Structure formats: structure tokens, C-alpha cells
Structure 1
Amino acid sequence: MKKQLLILMMGCIAGTMSAQDGWQSLFNGKNLKGWKVIGGEAEYKVVDGAIVGTSRMNTPNTFLTTKKQYGDFILEMEFKVDDGLNSGIQFRSNSKKEYQDGRVHGYQYEIDPSSRAWSGGIYDEARLGWLYPLTTNAEAQKAFKHNDWNKARIEAFGNNIRTWINGVPAADILDAQDATGFIALQVHSIGKEELAGKQVAWRNIRILTTNLESAKSPQSGIVQHNCIPNTISGREAAEGWKLLWDGKTTNGWISHRAPKFPEKGWHIENGLLVVEKADGAESGNGGDIITTEKYKNFVLTVEFRITRGANSGVKYFVNPDINNEPGGSAIGCEFQILDDNVHPDAKLGVNGNRKLGSLYDLIPAPADKPFRPGFFNKATIVVKGNQVEHWLNDVKIIEYTRNNQMWDAFVDYSKYKDWVNFGNFETGHILLQDHGDEVYFKNIKIKELE
């Protein structure tokens, strides 16, 4: 009798503590009360205290969503997924008639059992794509457990969203697109019969929406991605980052041919710097634009989106005074921007050295570069003296050394062979190229190095 009474008392204490700490269960372990299915026709059912989703052919992404909306919160749950099946946990997501006829869109905690291992990364479903892939977070990539239960944690506080996988910090972003939305469990669409019947499961789903500050995790120290267009966060400012374009004006940029911004060929639209469509000629419309300042050692990031068949580029070590010809582009090392599948320039040059991401006409980017058609992609150029790197979407694709015999040999075998000291200048302007095709730029930032 005493033992039964003790057990009863302990149960009452545990229940009181659970109520006091503010956590709420989103799944009762028995049925799908409080949830609804939208999007596709994959099946969800409750098995042994877990929600199990099963993939199905010929249906789009399917989502089991909460009926309630949530803003700031800490969300935790466990998940297990069959190898070969991609999935995710939606949060602050929505389905609105005015957005692609009700298509689910919003933030997603990635569930990725592939060799890429991006579980815990943040994807923007049906909108911007990847906000935080795990390309620079090897510890999080190693944290995922195949064919076993994994623990997900998501903290959403205002514009700051952070994630963990099995206690390891995975992603950290600043973004201001959605402040509220539902939570949803995704069964991804499949295109292969052998993936039909694959399953993903979730259990122990709970959320905290009150007294959040006391439960907030300390800063982890992983890289933070500022996804708010054309802004510098406090953390970025402390690290030395500055905007090269403010998202509103032409301040800091001029034509490579004149000390003012071009009067045609470029315009600003909803926080985007746009090269206008013309006849595809090199610098034949508004012409290239360059920074008013020169730079020596730096990390430069530029986000770009190309239209079908487009050609453009980001150049550095540009000194317009060495190119006095009336037409054509200013001369400099170039991170090539190109639609490799359509533009004829992709078939020219040597070994693909005129394709996207390449050091134009000199060093080719790898064929498996992480380019995302239809989305904004991030070009990063790192210069430390004579050491230079090209990165695409946080993956290094090229590195080279200039001002040496090998560099001069590359140049002598390129279209730049007649330009004295090409690529060997100590400083130069940053340039965005007008090649007569429509291209969009945003989030142009620089951090100068010693």
C-alpha cells in the first residue's frame, strides 16, 4: 500500500513539474487529433506511439500540419527515416490560396539520410531554397544516426532561428519572412518506384511557447547566415563585414567608363540590382559597373540569379585604365556567371573554363559544382595576397596562386595574353558585368583582410 501511494505521489509530482515548465505535447501518442493532411496523398498513421509517414508514387509533397499557428517557440521531437527517403519538419509555414494556389511554403528542418548529410539544415520550402546547408558544419553532418531515432531541436526567437541534431548545433540564421505559421511533418514526393513504401517517423513532439528566455540555449559559435536581404547583422559588423550595395541606391558604384552610374541598362527593383535584357553583347547596353573603391585582400560575397541563357560575371583586380578600347568589358579576373546548359560560351574555352564558377578562360570549375537553377546562388571570392579561392554556395570550387610562373603560363594560353600584368595587380575594383542578359544581384558584402 505504501509503495502504491509513493508511485501515485511521484506521478502527481511529475505531472505538476511538466505543467509548470510550460512544455506542451503536440501529439498524444494515440491518434492524429490536432493535425490535418494537406498537399499530397502520402499516408500518415500512428504506430507504437509514433506518427509514421509512408511515401507514395505520383503524389506531390505531403504535409501533416498542426491546426494551430506558432510564432516564437522551442520545438523538440525525435525522428527516424529510412535511407533513400528525404523528409523534413516544417515550422512557421503556411498554405495560402494567394501563394501558388495554396502550396505549402516556409521554413523546414531538413531530414536527409543521404551521403550529403544535411539533417538539421534549414531549407525554405517552395520559396528561396537553402538558407543553411551544412557544407560548413562537419560536426552536425556526423551527428545524424542512420536507421535510429534522432533528436531535433528548433529555437525560433524573432528573426533568429537555430537548430540542433542530437544535441549538436546545426544551423543559425537571421530571416524576416514569416513570424508565425503551422508546424508540419513532411513526406517528400518520390520519382522512383523503389522508394515507394519508404517511411519516416516522429515521436515525443513537444513545444514551449512561454518563458522562452530561461530555456534558450547559449550561443553555439557556429557560422550564422544573415538571410535578411542587403543588411549587416550585429555579428557580421563585429566580424568586419560591410555592404558593398545598400539595396536602395547606386551609392558606391559607377560605370567602368565614367565617374557616374550608367543612365540605362541597370535598375533597382525590390531590393535587387538588375542587369537589363538587351542584345547579349558584352558591355553593350548600360555597361559594366565597378566599386568606387579598390580592394586588396578581402572576402567578397555576391548572391545572383540568372535567367535562361544569361551571361554575366563578377570581376576583381579590375583597373579600367588599362583597357582604353571604346567597347567591351573592363579587364579583370572573373568569377563566371553563365547558364551552362543554354549559352554557347559554355562550349568555348578549354575544358569548360568558361562555365559558371570558373576563373573565366583560365581555370574550370568542377562539373559537380553545387549550382541551384532557378534560385539565388552565392558566389564567394577570397583573396589573401596571391592566394585566391572561388566558392559557390559555401563550397570551395577553385583555388589558385597568381604572380608566379604557372599563373603566367595560364594567362599566356588565354584571351588575356596580350594584357600586361593581367591578374597580378596588388589592388583593383570589384565589377559586376553587363553582358546584355537579365541577371539579378543582392546581398553584396565584403570583409577586408589584413
Structure 2
Amino acid sequence: MDLRPLLTCLCILMSLSTSAQDKGGWTNLFNGKDLSGFKQLNGKAVYEVKNGEIIGTTVSNEPNSFLATEKDYGDFIMELELFVHPEMNSGIQIRSMSKPEYMKGRVHGYQIEIDPSARQWSGGIYDEARRGWLYPLELNPGGKVAFKNNQWNKYRIECIGNTIRTWVNGIPTAHLIDAETAKGFIALQVHSIGKTDKPGNQIRWRNIKIKTRDLKQSPADNIHVVNTVPNNLSWQERKNGYQLLWDGKTTAGWRGAGREKFPEKGWEIKNGTLNVVKSGGGEAVNGGDIVSEKQFGAFELKFDFLLSEGANSGVKYFVTEKEKSTGSAIGLEYQILDDEHHPDAKLGIQGNRTLSGLYDLIKPLKVPNSLARKIGTWNQGIIRVYPDNKVEHWLNGYKVVEYQRGSPEYLRLVAGSKYKAWDNFGMATQGRILLQDHGDAVAFRSIKIKELK
């Protein structure tokens, strides 16, 4: 029997099976010929294949459109190239879903941003139709320059366990630790445009490939990490120099302000959160403020906080406990407040007692709507003190306050505030971190600190 025809067929079949997957374990997500393996969801933007590219074209008065994989993916590494019109916004959905019971099938989930605008947030991570921005590129200024207009850009997305990392043209752009969704489809977005907007702008995708086995995370880099997993310290956060200032379980490392021990009442630890017990809105009259046992000079402090309706609290720094005060201990304060329902927001001067501001001194900038969080949901704050005494306040990935300790402007603000009663207010070389008891229900978690040199 002549086996040569059979062997020839087997060789052809083996060649076909390996053509879709190269030696590195990559598989083509797009075959370069048609839209096999994809389905369109939500809007009616036009998707077509030309010259080995998927081309998406905007259509007036249509909602966001998505070309989604029929298959779901959990852990993977994906690479692709894209060329987008500079006046167009787009994104790449990962671990995303469309369910009839959720907003009538609206696509929701993680989106890797394609942003050719002056904002330059390409490679950032947005939570489509759910929580809004998780990693805006304000947190990584070096990543803003990665995307190039009017040319092909290469994206790399690593999605392994709770870690999502992105690169644009080889430059790291985002690093997120988040446990909201473990699996879902991948989709190419054409953003909505209004009824009067000119249609016809295009985005082109090519060389879309994915790897789902033998995954290894890329080496560590030094960009900022957003970690929404409660009280978790990721491997890159450790490498970047962070440590937990609160362990998420005990009172270790903390005591009452002006006391030797942690308050016996007014504070409680439950489900990984450190909570001020509601007691009527009085300042430091129940459990009282708590302070870190360790003192800090230049540092970056990250913390999550959750406000109940009408609540007031604060995170203070450079607290020395030397000043005499009938209420809360004295220090520079990152204001934590329900601006809409607490009267303190309307006091002070021109909004300098509102959420995330430098209390009684500097009004914060307004965060974009996509970064705002409703009362009863978790916010992420950052206080950054540089060795040269420059200080920043951040709220949900957006810088809202910047000032220089000891500058003429700073001294002028202090002289016009309630802090003028204390000599050299806020000018200690180091001090404790304080969480304020203002008698309202407020929760804290994921309190982390990095000392700066």
C-alpha cells in the first residue's frame, strides 16, 4: 500500500494546525480575512475587513459599538496594532460581559483606553458601564507619551489573576490589581457619536494575537500601582517600597492621639475595615483620633475611605501631638467630607473645607465626573510629601491639591486660617499619620505608605 498520499495529507493538516499558533504559544484572534469568531453588540457602527485589517467606522446617533469575541477569556496575554483617527475615542474591552439583566445587555467590564486627545490617557484602564476610571494616566505621566497620533501603535495587555498590566509601544502605561471580574469576552470598541456629529471616522486593527497558556508576567517596572483588593500589598508595590501601615486585622501600629493605647470605644475593626463608630458628629469626643506609632517625613500615603451620608472625617499628617487643642489633634489635613450633605463644605473660604482639599487652607480641583464616587462607595486617596516639602493630594487618580510647605503663599494661607494660633504650623520635619474621629460613620482600609528619599 502506498502511504505517501496519506502522509501528505497529515503534513498538510499539521501545517494548518500550527499556522494559527506559533512556537511561542500565540494564537491569531483575527484570521485576517473575515469576522469569524466575532459578534457585534450594542451599537451599529460599521465593522469590515480590508487588506488584513478590521476597520471600525463611526455612525451618527449610535451608542458605543463592540465587536466581541464569541469565546470568553480569563488569563491571557494579548498583543495587537491599531491606527485611529486623531479625533476619535476608542478602547479594547477585556474580561467583559453583556447580560440581558444588566442595563438591557449593555457591554460592561474592563476597557483599555485608546485616547488620541490632548488628555493622553491611552493605555489607561476604564471600567465601562460600571465604576468608571480605575487607572487614569495622571498616575503615570511617563506613560502619556507612549501613544503616537497618525501612526500604528502596538498594545500589549497582560491579564493574569487579579493583575492587569498594559504597554503602548513598549512603554508601561497601567498596572491594576482588581478582583471584580475573572473572565469575559474581548471586544473592539467604536465609540458613540451624537446625532449632529460628522460620521465616518475610522479605527483599524491588525496582527491581533493572544496567548493563554504558560503565562509569565513581564518583569517589574516602577510605575504606580492601583490596587483595589482590600489590604493587599502586591509584589510590585513591595518592590516600589510600600508597606502596610495598617495590617487590616488588628490595632497594631496605632494608638489613640495623646494616649498610650488604642481607644477602647469609638473604633471597630470588621471585615478588613477600620471604622469610626457613629456617635453624633462631635469632634474627638467618643473614641477620639488615632495616630500611627511611627513618624514620617517625606512619604507617599495611599488609603481607601468610605463615607456615610453627611459624614465628616480627615487624614492628618505631620501630627506632633504637642499643640494644645480641645478637639481633634492638630496637623495638616486631607479633608474627608460629604460635601453635599455636611454644612462644613459651605464654611471656610471659597470651598477650602471640601473633600480632598487641604482643610481650611486650599480648595481642591474638581475631579472629572468619570472619577467621582458616590457616597457609600470606596474612594482612593493619596498624600504625597516630597523631600523638598512639595505636597500633593490626589483623589481617585487625579491630583487635586499641590502646595509647598513653608513657601510665602503657604504662610499667607496659614495666617488667614484657624491654624494661625500655632507657631510653625505644619512645618515639623516629621510627624504621625492621624485618622480623625468626628463622630460620623467612616471606614478606612488599604492604608499603605512609602518613605521617599
Pairwise TM-score range, normalised by the shorter structure: 0.7 to 0.9
Instruction: Note if 1:76 corresponds to 2:79.
Output: yes
Could you say if the C-alpha distance between residues 317 and 37 of structure 1 is closer, same or farther in structure 2, counting changes exceeding 3 Å?
same
The CA RMSD over aligned residues, in Å, is: 3.6
Q: Which residue of 1 aligns with 2:305?
A: 304
Cα deviation digits, residues 89-116 of structure 1 (max 9, x gap): 1112334577677654432211112211
Could you say if the C-alpha distance between residues 339 and 79 of structure 1 is closer, same or farther in structure 2, counting changes exceeding 3 Å?
farther
Could you say if the C-alpha distance between residues 447 and 413 of structure 1 is closer, same or farther in structure 2, counting changes exceeding 3 Å?
same
Instruction: Note if 1:401 corresponds to 2:405.
Output: yes
Q: Which moved more, 1:123-132 or 1:109-118?
A: 123-132
The whole-number CA distance in structure 2 between the counterparts of 1:166 and 1:64 is: 23
Structure 2, unaligned stretches of length 5 or more? 1-13
Cα deviation digits, residues 317-348 of structure 1 (max 9, x gap): 223453352xx322111112234455433333
Equivalent positions of 1:409-424 (< 5 A) are 409-424=412-427
The whole-number CA distance in structure 2 between the counterparts of 1:65 and 1:269 is: 40
Aligned-residue offset at 1:192: 6.9
Q: What amino acid is the match of 1:52?
A: G
Q: Which moved more, 1:136-145 or 1:193-202?
A: 193-202
Q: Which residue of 1 aligns with 2:429?
A: 426
Instruction: Note if 1:94 corresponds to 2:97.
Output: yes
Cα deviation digits, residues 204-239 of structure 1 (max 9, x gap): 3221223545xx755555444444331223333344
Aligned-residue offset at 1:126: 4.0
Q: Which residue of 1 aligns with 2:66?
A: 63
Could you say if the C-alpha distance between residues 42 and 443 of structure 1 is closer, same or farther in structure 2, counting changes exceeding 3 Å?
farther
Cα deviation digits, residues 389-429 of structure 1 (max 9, x gap): 12312537312123x77654432321122234422333322
Could you say if the C-alpha distance between residues 15 and 67 of structure 1 is closer, same or farther in structure 2, counting changes exceeding 3 Å?
closer
| Aligned residues of 2:125 and 2:134 also touching (Cα < 8 A) | yes
Q: Which moved more, 1:63-72 or 1:378-387?
A: 378-387
Aligned-residue offset at 1:379: 2.6
**Percent identity over the alignment?**
51
| Aligned residues of 2:55 and 2:202 also touching (Cα < 8 A) | no
Q: Which residue of 2 aligns with 1:390?
A: 392
Which of 39, 43, 46 pairs up with 2:45? 43
Q: Which residue of 1 aligns with 2:211?
A: 208
Aligned-residue offset at 1:118: 0.8
SS for the counterpart of 1:202 is strand
Q: Which residue of 1 aligns with 2:6?
A: none
The whole-number CA distance in structure 1 between the counterparts of 2:285 and 2:202 is: 55
Equivalent positions of 1:196-275 (< 5 A) are 198-213=201-216, 217-256=218-257, 258-262=259-263, 265-275=266-276
SS for the counterpart of 2:295 is coil
| Aligned residues of 1:70 and 1:180 also touching (Cα < 8 A) | yes
| Aligned residues of 1:109 and 1:122 also touching (Cα < 8 A) | yes
SS for the counterpart of 2:73 is coil
Could you say if the C-alpha distance between residues 420 and 137 of structure 1 is closer, same or farther in structure 2, counting changes exceeding 3 Å?
closer
Q: Which residue of 1 aligns with 2:332?
A: 333
SS for the counterpart of 1:237 is helix
Q: Which residue of 2 aligns with 1:441?
A: 444
Aligned-residue offset at 1:387: 0.8
| Aligned residues of 2:58 and 2:200 also touching (Cα < 8 A) | yes
Q: Which residue of 2 aligns with 1:348?
A: 347
Which of 363, 378, 381 pairs up with 1:379? 381
Cα deviation digits, residues 336-389 of structure 1 (max 9, x gap): 223445543333323432233322112333456896233644332233567141
Q: Which residue of 2 aligns with 1:365?
A: 364
Could you say if the C-alpha distance between residues 368 and 180 of structure 1 is closer, same or farther in structure 2, counting changes exceeding 3 Å?
closer
Could you say if the C-alpha distance between residues 256 and 360 of structure 1 is closer, same or farther in structure 2, counting changes exceeding 3 Å?
same
Runs of 4+ with deviation above 6 angstroms: 12-15, 97-101
Cα deviation digits, residues 25-76 of structure 1 (max 9, x gap): 22234443322334x33334214241415355364x4433212122332212
SS for the counterpart of 1:410 is helix
Aligned-residue offset at 1:170: 1.9
Q: What amino acid is the match of 1:432?
A: L
Q: Which moved more, 1:273-282 or 1:152-161?
A: 273-282
Could you say if the C-alpha distance between residues 148 and 356 of structure 1 is closer, same or farther in structure 2, counting changes exceeding 3 Å?
same
Instruction: Note if 1:134 corresponds to 2:133.
Output: no
Could you say if the C-alpha distance between residues 51 and 440 of structure 1 is closer, same or farther in structure 2, counting changes exceeding 3 Å?
farther
| Aligned residues of 2:111 and 2:125 also touching (Cα < 8 A) | yes
Q: Which residue of 2 aligns with 1:9?
A: none
The whole-number CA distance in structure 2 between the counterparts of 1:277 and 1:80 is: 54
Q: Which moved more, 1:116-125 or 1:305-314?
A: 305-314
Could you say if the C-alpha distance between residues 76 and 55 of structure 1 is closer, same or farther in structure 2, counting changes exceeding 3 Å?
farther
Could you say if the C-alpha distance between residues 279 and 100 of structure 1 is closer, same or farther in structure 2, counting changes exceeding 3 Å?
farther
The whole-number CA distance in structure 2 between the counterparts of 1:205 and 1:386 is: 46
Aligned-residue offset at 1:20: 3.7
Cα deviation digits, residues 278-334 of structure 1 (max 9, x gap): 544434554332223333332222233445544322101223453352xx3221111
Give the TM-score, by structure 1 length.
0.81
Structure 1, unaligned stretches of length 5 or more? 1-11
SS for the counterpart of 2:197 is helix
Aligned-residue offset at 1:444: 0.9
| Aligned residues of 2:268 and 2:276 also touching (Cα < 8 A) | yes
Q: What amino acid is the match of 2:245?
A: L
| Aligned residues of 2:306 and 2:379 also touching (Cα < 8 A) | yes
Could you say if the C-alpha distance between residues 37 and 14 of structure 1 is closer, same or farther in structure 2, counting changes exceeding 3 Å?
closer
Could you say if the C-alpha distance between residues 194 and 344 of structure 1 is closer, same or farther in structure 2, counting changes exceeding 3 Å?
farther
The whole-number CA distance in structure 2 between the counterparts of 1:143 and 1:385 is: 29
Q: Which residue of 1 aligns with 2:111?
A: 108
Equivalent positions of 1:123-202 (< 5 A) are 123-189=126-192, 193-194=196-197, 198-202=201-205
| Aligned residues of 2:393 and 2:399 also touching (Cα < 8 A) | yes
The whole-number CA distance in structure 1 between the counterparts of 2:304 and 2:389 is: 22
| Aligned residues of 2:387 and 2:452 also touching (Cα < 8 A) | no
Equivalent positions of 1:19-38 (< 5 A) are 19-21=21-23, 22-38=25-41
Aligned-residue offset at 1:14: 10
Q: Which residue of 2 aligns with 1:293?
A: 294
| Aligned residues of 1:231 and 1:246 also touching (Cα < 8 A) | no
Cα deviation digits, residues 250-279 of structure 1 (max 9, x gap): 333333365444455544454333445554
